[in-house]
Amino acid sequence: MIEMQNVVKKYPNKTTAVRGLTVNIDRGEFVYVVGPSGSGKSTFIKLMYREEKATSGKKLEVAGHNLLRIKNKDVPYLRRDVGVVFQDFKLLPKKTVYENVAYAMQVIGRKPRDIKKRVMEVLDLVGLKHKVRVFPSELSGGEQQRVSIARAIVNTPKVLIADEPTGNLDPDTSMEIMQLIERINGQGTTVVMATHNKTIVDTMRHRVIAIANGLIVRDEAEGEYEFDD
């Protein structure tokens, strides 16, 4: 589902963020990506949904898309197969809950009838079917993140990338969001999640990929991880 071979990312300021990463993530896996600030963790995540372009590499494939060769005009097709959830939600403030989620289907030209049916399905899944007409500013942080997750999965992506999805949430809300993401993973969606939350990693056990200085320094099926900041 996700395959990297010797992937390198250098920024214009000469910083090398990732140094020849090689990793495979199978269909249906749930993987935590951990590491201190400046480790290359965020770049590693951004390469997967083409927010960043790799400088070089032998292979970088995500959900059947070759990201070493993909053209800018084809990135929207990648985003159909790869949903992304962010720490700061990135909701459109002047659109309602329904409109925020529907927008992800509208931009790829789905029919209005299909949009309405699917949006209501995912809002029901995230427990917000009763707030379709509410604006983001009227929601709690946890509710906003649920809308963000609904938007990320509305096009039934093969991969869900979550970049610090609980970073702005309190512990109880964080666990609720994690239970939701686990439910989505249980339906067959591959999940790759960057996190600093040791409690989550230690409690909800999954494969852990640790990055330091742009290199993978640990890759284990599951287990506790000592975070260094």
| pLDDT value at residue 107 | 85
Q: Is the pLDDT of residue 223 over 90?
A: no
Both tokens assigned to 229? 């900041």
Q: Within 13 Å and on the Cβ side, how many CA atoms surround 170? A: 5
Average of per-residue pLDDT values in the chain: 93
- 97-101, Cβ contacts within 8 angstroms, sequence gap of 24 or more: 97/123, 97/128, 97/131, 97/132, 97/133, 97/134, 97/135, 97/136, 97/139, 97/147, 98/123, 98/132, 98/133, 100/136, 100/147, 100/151, 101/147, 101/150, 101/151, 101/154
Strands 30-34 and 2-10: unpaired
**Strand partners of residue 215:** 212
Confidence of residue 224 (pLDDT cuts 50, 70, 90): low
pLDDT at 207 over 80: yes
CATH number of the structural domain 2-220: 3.40.50.300
